[in-house]
Amino acid sequence: MGVLQIAVVILLLLLIVKPLGTYMYHVFSNQPNKTDKVFGGFEKLIYKISGLTERKAMTWKKYTISLILTNVVLVAVGYLILRLQNYLPFNPNGIDNMEPTTAFNTIISFMTNTNLQHYSGETGLSYFGQMAVIIMMMFTSAVTGIVVAIAFIRGITSKGKTLGNFFEDFVKGHTRLLLPMAVVVTLVLVGLKVPQTLDANITVTTVEGVKQTIATGPVASLVSIKHLGTNGGGFFGVNSSHPFENPTPLTNVIEMLSMWCIPASLTYTYGKFARNRKQGWVIFGAMSVLFLLFLSLAYVSESNGNPALTKLGLNTEQGSMEGKEMRFGIAQSALFTTVTTAATTGTVNNMHDTLTPLGGITPLAQMMLNVVFGGDGVGLVNMLMYAIIGVFICGLMVGRTPEFLGRKIEPKEMKLITVALLAHPLIILGPTAIAFLTDLGKGAISNPGFHGISQILYEYTSSAANNGSGFEGLADGTTFWNVTTGLVMLFGRYISIVALLAVAGSLVKKQPVPETIGTFRTDNTLFTGILIGVVLIIGALTFLPVIALGPIAEYLSIR
Amino acid sequence: MNQSNKGSLNATLIKTAIVDSFRKLNPLVMMKNPVMFVVEVGTILVFLMMILPSYFNAEGRFGYNLAVFCILFFTILFANFAEALAEGRGKAQADSLKQAKKDTEAKKLQKNGTIKVVSSETLRKGDIVLVEIGDLIPGDGEIIEGLASIDESAITGESAPVIKEAGGDFSSVTGGTKVVSDSIKVRITADPGESFLDKMISLVEGAKRQKTPNEIALNILLVTLTIIFLLVVVTLVPIAKYVGVNLEISTLVALLVCLIPTTIGALLSAIGIAGMDRVTRFNVLAMSGKAVEAAGDINTIILDKTGTITFGNRLAAQFVPAGDASENDVREMAVITSLYDETPEGRSVLELAKKQGGQWDATHYEGCEIIPFTAEERMSGLDLNGVSWRKGAVDSIRQYVTKLGGKVPHDLQEKSDEISKKGGTPLAVAIDDRIVGLIYLKDTVKPGMRERFDELRKMGIKTIMCTGDNPLTAATIAKEAGVDEFIAESKPEDKIRVIREEQEKGKLVAMTGDGTNDAPALAQADVGLAMNSGTIAAKEAANMVDLDSDPTKIIEVVAIGKQLLMTRGSLTTFSIANDIAKYFAIIPAMFMVAIPQMQVLNIMGLHSPTTAILSALIFNAIIIPLLIPLAMKGVKYVPMSANKLLSRNILIYGLGGVIVPFVGIKIIDLLVTLFTVS
C-alpha cells in the first residue's frame, strides 16, 4: 500500500514535468506566445509604474547586481516591518515587535528561500507580518531562484554577451508563474478546509471545561506559496503537520507536488533551451535516481521501526510512528520528508528529529548534496555545476579539452565553480565544528551523544542548503544560533548564485564547438551515470566522516 | 634527438632522478605543487611529534608515528621521482643538442668584401657569412648565394644530407648543421640565444615549461579538493571529541593524505612533461604544451594533396592501346622507352609492366643511343639499329610522328582526353612513325592513407584536401584517398579562407605547410605543423616543426595530444575513485577504539585500526611509482568514437579505481600483519 501511494505521487509528478517545463520555457524564452495576451497588459502596467520601459538584456554583472540590490531592498523593508509590527495594522492578536537577532535571522531566512524559523508563527508574527514579509518574500525569493536558473540556462545555451533582463524576468516569474499557480493552489486548499481568514484567534471552551486558544489566520495563501516557492516556513510552529496547514492525505499530496513541480520541470525547460530535450532528461534522470535512493533509505528504515523499541519487546509493525501524524502514516511521511529536503523546501509533516537514525540520513544527505531537484531554480543550477565538474573530470578521458554544450571548460570557469563547490562544505562543517567548540553551541543540544551531532549538523546543513527544516529538538532561539545560522544562510545562497552566474557570463561569450562523433556526449545514459557518480563521490567524501559520527554511530549503538 | 638517445630508462637517468627527488624536497620547490606541499607539511608535523612527543601528547606512540612518517616521506619522494624522471629524459635530449651548439668560428663578410673570422656568438641579425665545405653553419639564416648539401643529423637524426640553395622554399639553414659539399653565403636571421637550436634546447629541457590552460584548470580542481578534505579533517576533531573520540594528529594526517588526490597530484607534471617528450621523440618540435593539447582538440585537418596524400609523382597505372595495336604492344614499347629512363615515371612503367607479367631482356638494347627528356622536345626514348622508340607528351609525339609521315590513330585524341578527365596524365608511345598507344600516368595515393582518414573520421575529425588540380582530378584523388572534402585549383589564400570559415564555426583547425606562402595560414591555424625543410617564415609562423619533414605526421600529433589529455583524465578519475576504499579502511579504524560498533564498517576485515591506517597509507604511497610507467607512456589510445572511448576508460580507470585499492589495501594489511606479528 505504502509503495503504491508513493508510486502514484511520482507518476503525477511525471505528468506535470513536460507541460509545466514547456510553459516555463515560453514564459522566459521571450518569444511572442499566447500567454502574452493574458498577462501582457498587467505586466505593461507594472513596467510603466516602475519605469521599466526599456528592458535591455544585461551582462552577467549587471544581472547579478540588479538581483542582489533588489534582494537588499526587500530585506531592508522586511526587517523594518518585523521590528515595528506591533504598530502596524492587521495585528488582532497584539503580537509584539520582533527581537533584533531573531528579526535578522528571520529576514535572511526568508529572503534566502530558507525559511528556517527561530520563532513560532502563532505567537511571533502579526497577520501583517505574515502577509507583507513572509508571504511576500516567499514569492520574491522563489522567483529570484528561478530567474537565476533561467539566466544560467541562457548563459550555457545561447551565444552573445548577455543573460537577459533581470527585472523583466523577475516580473514575469511573478505574474506568469508563481501568482497564478499560488491562486489556484490556495483555492484548492481552501476547498479542502484549510483556513483563510483575517479574524483573530478563536478562544473556545473544551469539553473538559478548559479555555483553549485556537490559532488561525490567512493560512491557505501562505501554505500554497510556501510549497510552490520551495520556501517551507509554516504559518504555525509545527508546520505542515498542523491539521490547519495540512488537514488530509490529499492536501499532503498537493503540497508535495506543489514544492516538487517547479524544480523538476525546470530540467525540461533547460532541455528546451538547449534545443535538445535529452539534455534535460539526463539531469532529471540523475536527480530522480538519487531521489529514489534516498527515498528507499527513509521509507525502509522508518518502516522497520526503531530497533531500540523493538528490543524492549514493543510491537513496531507499524514502523517508527514517533513524531509522525497518524493521518499520513509511514509512506506519506517518508515521501514528504524526502521531497521537502530534496527540493530544499523545509516544510515538514513529521518531526525530523524523531526519524530513525538511518532514516535521518536521507534529509541530511539530500541537503548536503543540494542537487536532488533542489530549491526553485538553484537546484538545477547546482546540478548543472556538478555536470560541468563531471564533464571536466571525465571529458578529458576522451582526449579533448572538456566541453559542456559545446563550450570549453577552462581555468576561469573552474575557478568560479570551485568557489561554489567549496562554499557549501565550508559553511556546514566550519560552523558545526565551531558550535562544538563552545558551550553556546553545545548547550543547545537536547539529546546528547551521537544524536546531538546530528542535531547541530542538521541545523547548519539545512541553513546552508537554504532548506529551513530543523531537527526541532535543538534550542536554537538564542543570539548565537540566530547570528550563525543567519550568516550561513546568507553565504549559502549568494556565494553560489554570484559564482555560477559568473560562470554563465563567461560561457555565454564562448564560441560553441560543433558536435562531432569525437564529442563527449552529455545527453545519454552514460552521462547520467557519471553525473550520479560525481555527485555521490564528491558528496560522500566530504560528509561521510560526520555522518559516520552522527546517524551511523547512533544507528550502530541502538542496533 | 639522435637515434641512440631514444633508449628509455637507463641507470644514469634513474640515478639523477633519485638525487633530484631529494633536491625537490625543498618546501619552496614543493609549493608549486600544492597537493604534495600539504603532504610535506603533514610529514613535518608527524616528524615533530616523533622527536618532541611531549609537546603533542604523543608519548609512547613513537613506533606508530615513525611508521606514518616513513610512509609519508616516501610518498613525497615517489612524487618527486616521477617528475624528476620525466624531466631527466628531456634533459638527456637537450644535452645531445647542446653539443651541436658549441661556439663555432664564423667567416663574416665585411662590407669591403674581405672575410673576417669571428666567434659565432658575436653574429647578429643581418650579418652575412661564408660557409664552406666542412664548416658548421654558425647560426640560423637564409642562403643568399650558392647551393650546398648539408648534414642536419644534429637536429633531425637523419644522416642523409639535404640540398639547400638560394631562393625558393629550400633556402633556410639551421645553426649547428654542417655543410658537406660546396659553399654558400648565408644571411643570419637570428640573434644568439634566439636561434632554432636554442629554442629546441629550452623546450626539451622543460626549463620554460608553462602549464597549459587545461593543466591549470585541473590543478584548480585538485587544490579545491585538497582544501575540502583539509576542512573535513580539521572540523572532525571537535565534533569527534564531543562523543568521546580523541583523534591522534598522525592519524588525522594519514586520513588527510589518503583523501587528497596525491596520486594525480604527484603525477600531473610528469604526465605533461612526458607528453611533450613523446612529441619530441617523434621528431616533432612543439613550441608549447598548449599546442600539443590543442592538437587533441582538432576538428579539421587541412592537408596538401601533393606530397602528403599522394606521392606527388605521377606513376604509370595502365597501358592503353590506340588504333589497331594491342595492350601488349603498348606495354612492350613503353618498357623499351623506359629502360634507361631514371625518372620516377620511367621506373613506374617498368614496375607496372612487371606486375602485369611483362618480360624483357635489357641486354638486347645495350649500346643503344639514349634520347633523354628535354624541355623542348618533351619526349624521351632510345634509338637502336635504325629503330626509334619514343614516349612523351601526346602533342609532342603526334608532331614527331606526323613529321616522319606516319598516321595518328583516330581514337588517340578520345582516349587521351578520357585519361585527362579521370585526373591522369597521358603519355603517348611510338615506334618510328607509328603510335601504339598511351601510358596512363596517375598521381598515386600513399598506401595506408585511406585507413588513416578512416581513423580520423572515427575520432570525429574532418579532412580537407587542398590541391592545384582541376576539380575533376581533385575529386578522383579525394575519393580514392577517402578525404571528406577537397578544394580544387586552390591558391595559397584559399587555405587561410577555409581555416577562417572552419574557425568561425567554432572548430579547431590543423594544417601542415612548408612554403613562405603557407606562413599566414600556418599562423591562423590552431595547430600549424611546419616542415623543417621549409622556409624560416613557415617555421616561425607554425607552432610545431617536423624535423623529418613528413607532413602526414600531423595525424600522429593529434593522437599524441589526445593521449596526453586522456592520461590526465584517466589518472584523475582513478585517483578520486581510490578514495572510497581508503575511507572504508580509515574511518572505522579511527573511531573503533571509542565506538566498537564501527567494526561493522570494516568490510575489508582489516586486522587492527593501526594496520588499517598504515595499509591505506602504504597503498597510497606505492600506487605512485606503480603508475609512473603509465604516466610516462600514456594510456593506450585506439581511435574510436568518444562514447566508446569513455565507456572503456570509465570501466578501466573509474571502476578499476574503485576496486583496485580494496584488493591492494587488503593484501598490504595481510603483509603488515604478518610482519608485525612475527
User: Is residue A298 assigned to a domain?
Assistant: no
Model confidence at B4, pLDDT cuts 50, 70, 90, reads very low
Q: Are the Cβ atoms of B587 and A414 closer than 8 angstroms?
A: no
pLDDT tens per residue, range B157-198: 666 777 788 776 678 888 888 888 888 888 888 887 777 777
Which residues does A362 contact at the CB level (< 8 Å), separation at least 6? A294, A295, A297, A298, A334, A337, A338, A341, A355
Q: What is the pLDDT, as a whole number, of residue B3?
A: 39
Task: Say which residues have a Cβ less than 8 Å from residue A469's Cβ, sequence separation at least 6.
Answer: A232, A340, A341, A345, A346, A347, A348, A352, A363, A462
Q: Is B466 helix (H, G, I), strand (E, B) or coil?
A: strand
Tell me what pLDDT residue B100 has: 64
Q: According to the model, what pLDDT value does residue B191 have?
A: 81
Quick check: A414 contacting B, CB < 8 Å?
Answer: yes
Residue A144 lies in a domain: yes
Pairwise CB contact (< 8 Å): B296 & A544: no
CB–CB contact B458 A521 (8 Å): no
Residue A537 has pLDDT above 60, yes or no: yes
> Is B591–A553 a contact, with Cβ atoms under 8 angstroms apart?
yes
Grid coordinates of B195:
636561434
Q: Which of A4-13, A395-404, B372-381 has the lowest mean pLDDT?
A: B372-381
Above pLDDT 90, what percent of chain B?
Answer: 27
Does residue B46 have a pLDDT over 80? yes
pLDDT at B158: 66
- Tell me, yes or no, whether A484 lies in a domain: no
Note whether B562 contacts A400, CB cutoff 8 Å: yes
Q: What residues of A are in contact with residue B458 (Cβ under 8 Å)?
A: 517
User: Is a pLDDT exceeding 50 seen at residue A27?
Assistant: yes
Residue B205's pLDDT is 67
Mutation target among B35, B210, B220, B587 for the A interface, most CBs of A within 10 A: B220
Measured over the CA atoms of residue B435, residue B437, residue B441 and residue B447, the dihedral's sign is negative
How far is B603 from chain A, CA to nearest CA, in Å?
Answer: 14
Q: 3-class SS at A112?
A: coil
Pairwise CA distance, residues A179 & A38, whole Å: 13
pLDDT band at B467 (very low <50, low <70, confident <90, very high): confident
Distance CA B360, CA B339 (A): 10
Cβ atoms B41, B255 nearer than 8 A: no
Where b means 16+ CB within 10 Å and e means fewer, A101-139 reads bbbbbbbbbbbbbbbbbbbebbebbbbbbbbbbbbbbbb
Cβ within 8 Å of B, A 537-556: 537, 540-546, 548-549, 552-553, 556
> What per-residue confidence (pLDDT) applies to A111?
93
A387, pLDDT greater than 90: yes
Amino acid A373: pLDDT: 94
Q: Residue A132: give the domain boundaries.
A: 22-262
Distance CA B178, CA B148 (A): 10
Q: Quick one: fold of B297-311+445-547?
A: Rossmann fold (3.40.50)
What is the rounded distance in angstroms from the CA atom of residue A411 to the CA atom of residue A435? Answer: 35
A385, A396, A450: best to mutate for the B interface, most B CBs within 10 A: A396
**Residue B102 buriedness (CB in 10 A; 0-12 / 13-18 / 19+):** exposed
Query: Could you say which of A415, A526, A540 has the minimum Cβ distance to residue B643?
Result: A526
pLDDT in the model for residue B7: 43
Of the candidates B541, B521, B87, B557, the residue with the CA atom closest to the CA atom of residue B294: B557
Nearest residue of A to residue B564, measured between CA atoms? A399
Q: Is B239 in Cβ contact with A433 (below 8 Å)?
A: yes
One-letter amino acid identity for A200?
A
CB within 8 Å: A433 and B237:
yes
Crossing angle (nearest 10°) for helices A2-28 and A277-303: 150
DSSP β-bridge partners for residue B440: B318, B426
pLDDT score of A196 more than 60: yes
Q: What φ, ψ does residue A306 adopt, rounded to 5°?
A: -85, 115
Instruction: State how far the Cα of B295 lies from the Cα of B282, in Å rounded to an integer.
Output: 15
Contacts of A511 in chain B (CB under 8 A): 506
Residue with the three cell numbers 642523409:
B160
Question: pLDDT > 70: what percent of chain A?
Answer: 100
Asked whether residue A513 is assigned to any structural domain, the reply reads no
* Residue A177 binned pLDDT confidence (cut-offs 50, 70, 90): very high
- Between A364 and B458, the more confident residue is A364
Contact yes or no for A362/A294 (Cβ under 8 A): yes
Flag if A396 and B568 touch (Cβ within 8 Å). Answer: yes
Radius of gyration of the CA atoms of chain B, in A: 34
Flag whether residue A418 sits within 8 Å of chain B, measured between CB atoms. Answer: yes
Coil, strand, or helix at residue B513?
strand
DSSP annotation string for B219-278: HHHHHHHHHHHHHHHHHHHHHHHHTT-PPPHHHHHHHHHHHS-HHHHHHHHHHHHHHHHH
Active site residues per annotation of B = 304
Residue B261 CB-density burial (10 A; 0-12 exposed, 13-18 middle, 19+ buried) = buried
Mean pLDDT, all residues of chain A:
91
Q: Residue B659: how many CB atoms within 10 A of its CB?
A: 14
CATH superfamily entry for domain B315-442: Calcium-transporting ATPase, cytoplasmic domain N (3.40.1110.10)
Report whether A362 contacts A483 (CB < 8 A). Answer: no
Q: How far apart are CA B591 and CA A548, in angstroms?
A: 9
A399: left (phi over 0), alpha (psi -120 to 50) or beta: left
**Are A526 and B647 within 8 A, CB to CB?**
yes
Three cell numbers, residue A196: 483563510
Q: In terms of Cα–Cα distance, which of A424, A391, A389 is closest to A496? A: A424
CA angle, A155 as apex, A154 and A161 as ends, to 5°? 110
In sequence order, what are the residues at sequence separation of 6 or more whose Cβ sits closer than 8 angstroms to the Cβ of residue A395? A401, A402, A403, A404, A409, A520, B569
CB-CB neighbors (< 8 A) of A307 in chain B = none
**How high does pLDDT run on average in chain B?**
85
Q: Which chain A residue shows the shortest CA-CA distance from B571?
A: A397
Is B40 marked within a binding site?
no
In this structure, are residues B156 and B548 in contact, taking their beta carbons and an 8 Å threshold? yes
Say if residue B345 carries a ligand binding annotation.
yes
Each domain of chain B, given as residue ranges in start order, spans: 3-93+204-283+562-677, 105-191, 297-311+445-547, 315-442
Q: Which of A229, A201, A228 is nearest to A216 (CA)?
A: A201
Interface of A with B in 167-206 (CB under 8 A): none
Tell me the pLDDT tens digit for each residue of B416-436: 888 887 777 888 999 888 899
Subunit contact A393:B457, Cβ cutoff 8 A: no
Phi, psi of B209 (to 5 degrees): -60, 120
A425 interfacial to chain B (CB closer than 8 Å): yes
- C-alpha cell of A342? 530534496
The verdict on a CB contact (< 8 Å) between A430 and B245 is no
Number of structural domains (chain A) is 1
Question: From the CA of B26, how many Å to the nearest CA of chain A?
Answer: 28
Q: Which of residues 501-520 of A touch B (CB under 8 A)?
A: 511-514, 516-520
Cβ count within 10 A of residue A36: 13
A260-269, A288-297, B107-116, range with the lowest pLDDT: B107-116
Give the helix ranges, DSSP H, for B380-491. Answer: 394-403, 412-421, 449-458, 471-481
CB–CB contact A393 B573 (8 Å): yes
CA nearest to B252 within chain A: A545
**A557: which chain B residues are within 8 Å (Cβ-Cβ)?**
595, 597
Q: Is B103 annotated as a binding residue?
A: no
Q: Which pLDDT belongs to residue B650?
A: 92
* B514 annotated ligand binder: yes
Find out whether A145 and A228 touch, Cβ atoms under 8 Å: no
Work out the average pLDDT over B322-329.
Answer: 87
Q: Which residues contact B660 (CB under 8 A, 6 or more apart)?
A: B578
Residues A68/A84, Cβ–Cβ less than 8 Å: no
| Residue in B closest to A543 by C-alpha | B232
Instruction: Label residues A40-79 b or e (16+ Cβ within 10 Å = b).
Output: eeebeeebeeeebeeeebbebebbbebbeebbeebbeebb
Residues 362-391 of A with CB under 8 A from B: 389
Q: Tell whether A127 is covered by a domain.
A: yes
pLDDT given for residue B8 in this prediction: 47
Q: Which fold has domain B105-191?
A: 2.70.150
Best of B233, B243, B568 to substitute, by most chain A Cβ atoms within 10 angstroms, is B243
Closest by Cα among B412, B409, B436, B438 to B425? B438
Q: Is residue A527 part of a domain?
A: no
Give A-chain residues touching B299 at CB under 8 angstroms: 513-514, 516, 518
Question: Could you tell me if A396 lies within 8 Å of chain B, comparing CB atoms?
Answer: yes
